[in-house]
Amino acid sequence: MSVNIYFNSLNRKTFAKIGDTMKHLHIKHHWLGRLLASDPGLIRFQKAGRATLSLMASVFTTLFIMNAAGFDALTPAIVSGMAGMMGIMIVMDDTKREKILTTFLLGVSAMAGITLGSSLAHNAYYIDIAMIVLIFGSFYLTRFGVRYFSLCMIGFMTIYFSSILKLTSSQLPWFYIGIWIGIAYAFLFNFILFQDTAKNLKRSIRSFHIQSNLTFNLLIQGMQDKELSPQRKKELQKNVLKLREYAIIASDYINEDDVQKLWPGLTPSQLRLYVFDTGMLIETLTDSIRSLKYADALEIDELRRLLIWVIQTLRDAEVLAQNYEEQNLQEAELAVQALRLLIMDLFNREDQPEGWLFLIRRIESIANHVIEGAITLQQALYSEKIMVKNSEEADEDLSETSKKDSGEKDSEDEEKTLKPSTKKAYQALVAAVLSIIVGQIISPAQPYWVLLTAFIVLLGTESIGRTYTKGFQRSIGTIIGAVIGFTLARLVSGHSALEVTLIFVAVFFAFYLLEVSYTLMSMFITMLVAFMYDLLLGGISISLIGARVLDTIAGAAIAFGVSTFVFPKKTKDKVADSFNEFLTELKPFVIEYIRGFREDVNVKELSGSAFALDQKLQTIKTEAQSLTQKPGSPRHSDVNRWITIFAAINYYARHLVASSYRKGFDYPDELVEVFKRIEEKLDLNIETLMEVIKGNGDGALVYSLEKEREQIERLAPTRKQSQRDLIHHLYYVWRINKTILELAVELGAGKE
């Protein structure tokens, strides 16, 4: 008996060691970590996999039923696969209940499209009208909900197919059966087999941790190098940007239900803050170590050793692991305490190092925040009392957010101007008419391919520049895909099984690469079309695939032309709107931070706003892409500089969050009024900058905070008098205001 217990215990220890070794392989082997973290949370893989599986299951099930019934036709199976695939990709409602209803309604819309297309197939004018109405409705009806876009889109596709096939009434029942088989599989893969969103959260957090560890390793290697090579700097910066992207993805999946399911006792705000602080620590380490290298500060052996110790202990502390060991964080605490003692020693020296000591303080401060946050997570995981308290706080935060959202919606309802969805609908209407005319001229046999391209290029593009960029990418992808697809289709022609396999492979990669490269996505879609043509038509010619390329270029050109002349939204105006959206998000963020010094404000929630600011900054870069890629254009240098300025503001704001949950500041009562003035001036300055960006800021003033800064620095307790360094925590507030003030003055505002 005792022998069995011994061996059971030994086996458990052995398996634990094996698991621990597997878990740390990505730390030892950079290439493996890079591969494991390449798709955060496997989100792209899962979505592309669901769409492909739904397509395959729908096609094969429909074929099996039809063959069993003695009906030999491929087209109902193709429509079935289309319904199954679109049921995955175009259902974009906010809640699960709404998504289920939309999935069901897709089947109804697809049936209506097949019926209408077949009944009007002998009258091209009626088909044209139906196509135009659906394209107009797909944009116009989005004001009532995204569901209507999905319904119009599948209606458009089914009318397109049925008008080409010229179906008879006797064939329709098989297409109805195929549609509902596709919808059933979409429901199965969306809401039954892949409904566990908690897995997405867990995988995205794991990808974030792997990427964090990769960057920690690069930092350690950089510190051990004699000099920081340009290649190392570039690699570090690339990894930091990727880590920020992973943090945003992880934060999007953080919600109350999934957090409680995976880590009972935690709240979304705690987990979100932990993710943010970890990313911010790595970003600070990267910037600081680069500066320390230049200042030769890392030539001090003790400093370099302590920094490496801090990084290693934080890298190895798996805070959210089920078999977490407390000594991991204890060692991290010891490392940070040792760094703190070294800082105190450097402060007390008569020959204090100049220019870089504040960098070490910043590293120590944020590393300490990460450890405090990690300890809080562990306490919450194992303390029922803390779990209940945090749950109540989360409910309060949720109600406050709901009030904010409702207020925003009310203000939007008061808008009297023409809505963006209406403008886009009119653009689509003109593009549809032109596309049908052009399609009839250049491709009378397939007149709607031009229309389909124009429709797709107009999707998700609000400015002239974005429409041009998307149309150009689609055209390039189509040309490359046509060459590759034509070559492969000729090579595998006659091997139906292989062609079908290649079709499924092309579908998977098209959707997998959708968010990575629109050009590559278009390439795989064109390859898919080439295989389909060869399979359905029994062969493919250069003229046939060439016609599709010409149709694509024509459709992209029409979309660009319409966006230029019908309710045009200039790229610089859209970029200006994006800048103002960033500032709209920034204003309450900074004001709440300042208010936290004099009132009991729950500043933990600022981490969510920080992620939102990151997303707004990325939107600015995306919208400005057509301008920043034209070095000779007059707006190029201005836009690039503005983006750099807003990136700096975002950087300063992120540093505020890194210390935002510290409370208990000591200062004289007379500083309360100073904080109120800071809030008022910041509010006015941000509003003024927004107005001058719009071009409406004539005579507006912006206000310096130098007087308030002087008062605070004169009256605030010293570091020795208080454990909270007030001056240190306000440093980035001054930087934010100074940047806003300089930009506003440059754009025409007055300074007071």
Mean pLDDT of all residues in 658-678: 73
pLDDT tens track for 278-291 = 888 888 888 888 88
pLDDT at position 165, please? Answer: 78
CATH architecture for the domain at 570-751 = Up-down Bundle (1.20)
pLDDT tens track for 723-744 = 556 777 788 889 999 999 989 9
Distance between start and end Cα atoms, the chain: 85
Torsion of CA 75, 80, 85, 87, to 10 degrees: 140
pLDDT at position 395, please? Answer: 44
The C-alpha atoms of residue 507 and residue 512 are separated, in whole angstroms, by: 8
How does residue 515 score in pLDDT terms, banded at 50, 70 and 90?
confident
pLDDT at position 24, please? Answer: 54
Q: Which residue has the higher pLDDT, 389 or 306?
A: 306
Mean pLDDT of all residues in 498-514: 89
How does residue 387 score in pLDDT terms, banded at 50, 70 and 90?
very low
pLDDT at position 106, please? Answer: 95
- pTM for the full model? 0.78
Mean pLDDT of all residues in 205-221: 87
pLDDT tens track for 607-619 = 788 888 888 988 8
The C-alpha atoms of residue 567 and residue 555 are separated, in whole angstroms, by: 19
Domain spans of the chain, in order of start: 2-36, 43-195, 215-398, 422-568, 570-751
The C-alpha atoms of residue 752 and residue 749 are separated, in whole angstroms, by: 10
Residues 6+ apart with CB under 8 A from 179: 79, 80, 83, 107, 110, 111, 114, 158
Mean pLDDT of all residues in 678-695: 91
Q: Which residue has the higher pLDDT, 232 or 59?
A: 59
Reduce the secondary structure of 703-747 to three states and give it as a string. CCCHHHHHHHHHHCCCCCCCCCCHHHHHHHHHHHHHHHHHHHHHC
Residues 6+ apart with CB under 8 A from 68: none
Lowest-confidence region among 33-47, 337-351, 481-495, 562-576: 33-47
The residues that bridge with 750 in the sheet, in sequence order, are 701
Highest mean pLDDT among 102-111, 216-225, 384-393, 461-470: 102-111
Angle between helix axes 636-658 and 571-595 (nearest 10 degrees) is 20
* Whether residue 599 has pLDDT greater than 70: yes
pLDDT tens track for 139-157 = 999 888 889 999 999 999 8
Q: What is the mean pLDDT of the chain?
A: 81
Kindly report the number of other CB atoms within 10 A of residue 72's CB atom: 8
Kindly report the number of other CB atoms within 10 A of residue 295's CB atom: 15
How does residue 716 score in pLDDT terms, banded at 50, 70 and 90?
confident
Lowest-confidence region among 19-23, 53-57, 323-327, 492-496: 19-23
* Whether residue 396 has pLDDT greater than 60: no
pLDDT at position 382, please? Answer: 60
Residue 196 in tokens:
């566990």
**Chosen CATH of 215-398 out of 1.10.3470, 1.10.1220, 2.60.120, 1.20.58:** 1.20.58
DSSP state of 193: I
pLDDT at position 350, please? Answer: 64
pLDDT at position 530, please? Answer: 87
How does residue 3 score in pLDDT terms, banded at 50, 70 and 90?
very low
Topology agreement, domain 215-398 and domain 570-751: yes
